[in-house]
A and B are shown apart, each in its own frame.
Chain A
Amino acid sequence: EVQLVESGGGLAQPGGSLRLSCAASGFAFRSYGMNWVRQAPGLGLEWLSHISASGATIYYADSVKGRFTISRDNAKNSLYLQMNTLRVEDTAFYYCARDATSWRDFDPWGQGTLVTVSS
Protein backbone atom coordinates (compact mmCIF):
# COMPACT_ATOMS: atom_id res chain seq x y z
CA GLU A 1 0.00 0.00 0.00
CA VAL A 2 1.27 3.43 -0.96
CA GLN A 3 1.39 5.44 2.26
CA LEU A 4 2.71 8.67 3.71
CA VAL A 5 2.85 9.29 7.46
CA GLU A 6 3.73 12.67 8.93
CA SER A 7 5.15 13.28 12.39
CA GLY A 8 6.79 16.04 14.39
CA GLY A 9 3.89 18.41 14.89
CA GLY A 10 3.12 19.98 18.23
CA LEU A 11 3.18 23.23 20.15
CA ALA A 12 5.86 25.82 19.45
CA GLN A 13 6.36 29.39 20.63
CA PRO A 14 6.45 32.30 18.21
CA GLY A 15 9.98 32.56 16.91
CA GLY A 16 10.61 28.90 17.65
CA SER A 17 11.37 25.92 15.43
CA LEU A 18 9.94 22.53 14.58
CA ARG A 19 10.98 19.79 12.18
CA LEU A 20 8.32 17.75 10.45
CA SER A 21 8.98 14.33 8.95
CA CYS A 22 7.08 12.32 6.37
CA ALA A 23 7.76 8.60 6.12
CA ALA A 24 6.98 7.01 2.77
CA SER A 25 6.26 3.36 2.07
CA GLY A 26 4.86 1.17 -0.68
CA PHE A 27 6.48 2.94 -3.61
CA ALA A 28 9.90 3.94 -5.03
CA PHE A 29 10.28 7.14 -3.01
CA ARG A 30 13.49 8.16 -4.81
CA SER A 31 11.58 8.38 -8.11
CA TYR A 32 8.97 10.95 -7.09
CA GLY A 33 8.83 14.65 -6.39
CA MET A 34 7.29 15.52 -3.04
CA ASN A 35 5.41 18.45 -1.56
CA TRP A 36 4.25 20.04 1.68
CA VAL A 37 0.78 21.58 1.91
CA ARG A 38 -0.87 23.15 4.93
CA GLN A 39 -4.37 23.98 6.04
CA ALA A 40 -5.18 26.40 8.83
CA PRO A 41 -8.14 25.22 10.94
CA GLY A 42 -11.38 25.80 9.03
CA LEU A 43 -9.62 27.32 6.03
CA GLY A 44 -8.42 26.21 2.60
CA LEU A 45 -5.32 24.46 1.28
CA GLU A 46 -2.01 26.27 0.82
CA TRP A 47 0.88 24.69 -1.11
CA LEU A 48 4.18 25.40 0.66
CA SER A 49 7.07 23.66 -1.02
CA HIS A 50 8.22 21.12 -3.62
CA ILE A 51 11.37 19.05 -3.86
CA SER A 52 12.29 17.04 -6.94
CA ALA A 53 13.03 13.31 -6.84
CA SER A 54 16.77 13.86 -6.60
CA GLY A 55 16.49 16.84 -4.29
CA ALA A 56 18.22 19.08 -6.81
CA THR A 57 15.22 21.34 -7.49
CA ILE A 58 13.29 23.09 -4.73
CA TYR A 59 10.49 25.65 -4.72
CA TYR A 60 8.80 27.57 -1.90
CA ALA A 61 5.71 29.67 -1.43
CA ASP A 62 6.52 33.29 -0.62
CA SER A 63 4.82 32.90 2.76
CA VAL A 64 7.52 30.50 3.99
CA LYS A 65 10.55 31.35 1.85
CA GLY A 66 13.57 32.02 4.01
CA ARG A 67 11.98 30.45 7.09
CA PHE A 68 11.15 26.87 6.03
CA THR A 69 13.51 24.36 4.43
CA ILE A 70 12.40 21.24 2.60
CA SER A 71 14.73 18.26 2.31
CA ARG A 72 14.65 14.54 1.71
CA ASP A 73 16.68 11.40 2.47
CA ASN A 74 16.04 8.87 -0.27
CA ALA A 75 17.96 6.19 1.62
CA LYS A 76 15.49 6.55 4.50
CA ASN A 77 12.39 7.10 2.32
CA SER A 78 11.76 10.30 4.22
CA LEU A 79 10.78 13.90 3.53
CA TYR A 80 11.38 16.74 5.97
CA LEU A 81 10.27 20.30 6.61
CA GLN A 82 12.44 22.39 8.91
CA MET A 83 10.36 25.30 10.16
CA ASN A 84 12.16 28.24 11.77
CA THR A 85 11.04 31.64 13.00
CA LEU A 86 7.53 30.32 13.46
CA ARG A 87 4.60 32.73 13.53
CA VAL A 88 1.12 32.42 15.01
CA GLU A 89 -0.21 32.33 11.46
CA ASP A 90 1.77 29.15 10.76
CA THR A 91 -0.71 27.26 12.95
CA ALA A 92 -2.17 24.59 10.67
CA PHE A 93 -2.36 20.96 9.72
CA TYR A 94 0.67 20.10 7.62
CA TYR A 95 0.40 17.44 4.92
CA CYS A 96 3.02 15.80 2.75
CA ALA A 97 1.91 14.71 -0.71
CA ARG A 98 3.49 12.91 -3.64
CA ASP A 99 3.65 14.18 -7.22
CA ALA A 100 1.70 11.28 -8.68
CA THR A 101 1.86 11.70 -12.47
CA SER A 102 3.32 13.94 -15.16
CA TRP A 103 0.36 16.26 -14.46
CA ARG A 104 1.97 16.92 -11.05
CA ASP A 105 -1.22 16.01 -9.19
CA PHE A 106 -0.95 15.12 -5.51
CA ASP A 107 -1.56 11.50 -4.55
CA PRO A 108 -1.45 10.16 -1.96
CA TRP A 109 -1.53 12.60 0.93
CA GLY A 110 -0.44 11.85 4.46
CA GLN A 111 -2.91 12.07 7.32
CA GLY A 112 -1.49 15.40 8.45
CA THR A 113 0.23 16.65 11.58
CA LEU A 114 -0.94 19.66 13.59
CA VAL A 115 1.42 22.53 14.30
CA THR A 116 0.24 25.08 16.85
CA VAL A 117 2.23 28.26 17.32
CA SER A 118 1.25 30.06 20.48
CA SER A 119 2.81 31.72 23.51
Chain B
Amino acid sequence: DIQMTQSPSSLSASVGDRVTITCRASQNINSYLNWYLQKPGKAPDLLIYGASNLQNGVPSRFGGSGSGTDFTLTISSLEPEDFATYYCQQSYTNPRTFGQGTRVEI
Protein backbone atom coordinates (compact mmCIF):
# COMPACT_ATOMS: atom_id res chain seq x y z
CA ASP B 1 0.00 0.00 0.00
CA ILE B 2 1.07 3.57 -0.66
CA GLN B 3 1.65 5.54 2.55
CA MET B 4 0.78 9.24 2.61
CA THR B 5 2.55 11.44 5.14
CA GLN B 6 1.36 14.97 5.81
CA SER B 7 3.27 17.65 7.66
CA PRO B 8 2.77 19.32 9.93
CA SER B 9 0.07 17.42 11.85
CA SER B 10 -1.18 20.73 13.17
CA LEU B 11 -0.31 24.39 12.92
CA SER B 12 -1.35 27.65 14.47
CA ALA B 13 -1.88 30.63 12.20
CA SER B 14 -3.64 33.95 11.97
CA VAL B 15 -6.06 35.47 9.49
CA GLY B 16 -4.02 36.76 6.55
CA ASP B 17 -1.15 34.31 7.01
CA ARG B 18 0.28 32.28 4.16
CA VAL B 19 0.06 28.57 5.01
CA THR B 20 1.80 25.61 3.40
CA ILE B 21 0.98 21.96 4.02
CA THR B 22 3.06 19.19 2.52
CA CYS B 23 2.17 15.62 1.59
CA ARG B 24 4.66 12.92 0.70
CA ALA B 25 3.82 9.61 -0.96
CA SER B 26 5.84 6.47 -0.26
CA GLN B 27 6.11 5.86 -4.02
CA ASN B 28 5.51 7.68 -7.29
CA ILE B 29 1.85 8.61 -7.76
CA ASN B 30 2.34 10.93 -10.76
CA SER B 31 -0.23 13.70 -10.19
CA TYR B 32 -2.95 11.52 -8.67
CA LEU B 33 -3.10 13.62 -5.52
CA ASN B 34 -6.20 15.28 -4.13
CA TRP B 35 -6.76 17.69 -1.23
CA TYR B 36 -9.85 17.89 0.96
CA LEU B 37 -10.98 20.26 3.69
CA GLN B 38 -13.09 19.04 6.61
CA LYS B 39 -14.82 21.21 9.17
CA PRO B 40 -15.99 19.77 12.51
CA GLY B 41 -19.12 17.68 12.19
CA LYS B 42 -19.15 17.90 8.40
CA ALA B 43 -18.18 15.67 5.51
CA PRO B 44 -14.96 16.49 3.66
CA ASP B 45 -15.06 18.82 0.66
CA LEU B 46 -12.84 18.57 -2.40
CA LEU B 47 -10.40 21.47 -2.82
CA ILE B 48 -7.78 20.35 -5.35
CA TYR B 49 -7.70 17.37 -7.72
CA GLY B 50 -4.94 16.05 -9.91
CA ALA B 51 -2.39 17.83 -7.70
CA SER B 52 -3.04 21.33 -9.05
CA ASN B 53 -6.60 21.64 -10.40
CA LEU B 54 -8.84 23.90 -8.36
CA GLN B 55 -12.32 22.46 -7.79
CA ASN B 56 -15.17 24.63 -9.07
CA GLY B 57 -16.23 27.16 -6.48
CA VAL B 58 -13.06 26.91 -4.38
CA PRO B 59 -11.46 30.31 -3.76
CA SER B 60 -8.30 31.15 -5.69
CA ARG B 61 -6.33 31.62 -2.45
CA PHE B 62 -6.02 27.81 -2.46
CA GLY B 63 -3.36 26.27 -4.67
CA GLY B 64 -1.77 22.88 -5.16
CA SER B 65 1.53 21.81 -6.67
CA GLY B 66 3.85 18.85 -7.01
CA SER B 67 4.16 15.54 -8.80
CA GLY B 68 5.76 12.17 -8.20
CA THR B 69 6.08 11.88 -4.42
CA ASP B 70 6.08 15.43 -3.04
CA PHE B 71 3.08 17.73 -3.01
CA THR B 72 2.07 21.05 -1.46
CA LEU B 73 -1.18 22.77 -0.57
CA THR B 74 -0.84 26.52 -0.17
CA ILE B 75 -3.34 28.98 1.22
CA SER B 76 -2.11 32.41 0.19
CA SER B 77 -4.02 34.41 2.80
CA LEU B 78 -5.98 32.62 5.52
CA GLU B 79 -9.61 33.53 5.98
CA PRO B 80 -11.62 32.72 9.14
CA GLU B 81 -13.51 29.94 7.35
CA ASP B 82 -10.25 28.16 6.46
CA PHE B 83 -9.60 26.99 10.00
CA ALA B 84 -10.26 23.26 9.59
CA THR B 85 -8.51 19.95 8.96
CA TYR B 86 -6.92 19.25 5.58
CA TYR B 87 -6.33 15.80 4.10
CA CYS B 88 -4.34 14.68 1.09
CA GLN B 89 -5.28 11.48 -0.74
CA GLN B 90 -3.60 9.46 -3.44
CA SER B 91 -5.90 8.12 -6.17
CA TYR B 92 -3.14 6.46 -8.22
CA THR B 93 -3.97 2.96 -7.02
CA ASN B 94 -6.16 1.05 -4.59
CA PRO B 95 -6.29 1.30 -1.61
CA ARG B 96 -6.74 5.05 -2.11
CA THR B 97 -4.95 6.11 1.03
CA PHE B 98 -5.33 9.40 2.89
CA GLY B 99 -2.77 11.36 4.82
CA GLN B 100 -3.31 11.62 8.55
CA GLY B 101 -4.59 15.19 8.30
CA THR B 102 -3.32 18.66 9.15
CA ARG B 103 -5.32 20.73 11.61
CA VAL B 104 -5.12 24.46 10.97
CA GLU B 105 -6.09 26.41 14.07
CA ILE B 106 -5.84 29.89 15.43
CB neighbours of B99 from chain A (8 A): 44
Task: Name the A residues within 8 Å of B31 (CB-CB).
Answer: 103
Tell whether, in the assembled complex, residue A45 and residue B44 are in contact, meaning their CB atoms are under 8 Å apart.
Answer: yes
A103 in contact with B98 (CB, 8 Å): no
Q: How large is the interface on B (under 10, 10 to 19, 20 to 34, 35 or more residues)?
A: 20 to 34
**Per a CB cutoff under 8 Å, which of A45, A62, A108, A109 touches B98?**
A45
A35 contacts which chain B residues (CB < 8 A)?
A: 96
Among residues of A, the one whose C-beta sits closest to the C-beta of B46 is A107
Q: Give the interface SS of chain B, mostly helix, strand, loop or mixed.
A: loop
Whether A47 lies near B97 (C-beta < 8 A) is: yes
User: Known: A103-B32, A104-B32. Is A44-B96 also a contact (CB below 8 A)?
Assistant: no
A106 engages B98 (CB within 8 Å):
no
Query: Which of B18-26, B48-56, B69-77 contacts the other chain?
Result: B48-56
- Contact, CB under 8 Å: A44 / B87: yes
CB distance from B81 to the nearest CB of A (A): 18
Q: Check if A50 sits within 8 Å of B94, measured CB to CB.
A: yes
If A50-B94, A59-B94 touch, whether A111 touches B43 (CB-CB below 8 Å) is yes
Q: Mark B69-106, 1 if CB is under 8 A from A, else 0.
A: 00000000000000000010101001111111100000
What are the interface flags for A81-119 relative to B under an 8 Å C-beta threshold, 1 for contact and 0 otherwise?
Answer: 000000000000001000011011111111110000000
**Distance, CA A95 to CA B89, complexed state (A):** 15
**Is the pair B95, A106 in contact by a Cβ cutoff of 8 Å?**
no
Interface residues of A (CB under 8 A from B): 35, 44-47, 50, 59, 61-62, 95, 100-101, 103-112
19 pairs across A/B with beta carbons < 8 Å? A44-B99, A45-B44, A46-B98, A47-B89, A47-B96, A50-B94, A61-B95, A95-B43, A100-B49, A101-B50, A103-B34, A103-B50, A104-B32, A105-B89, A106-B44, A106-B46, A106-B89, A109-B44, A112-B43
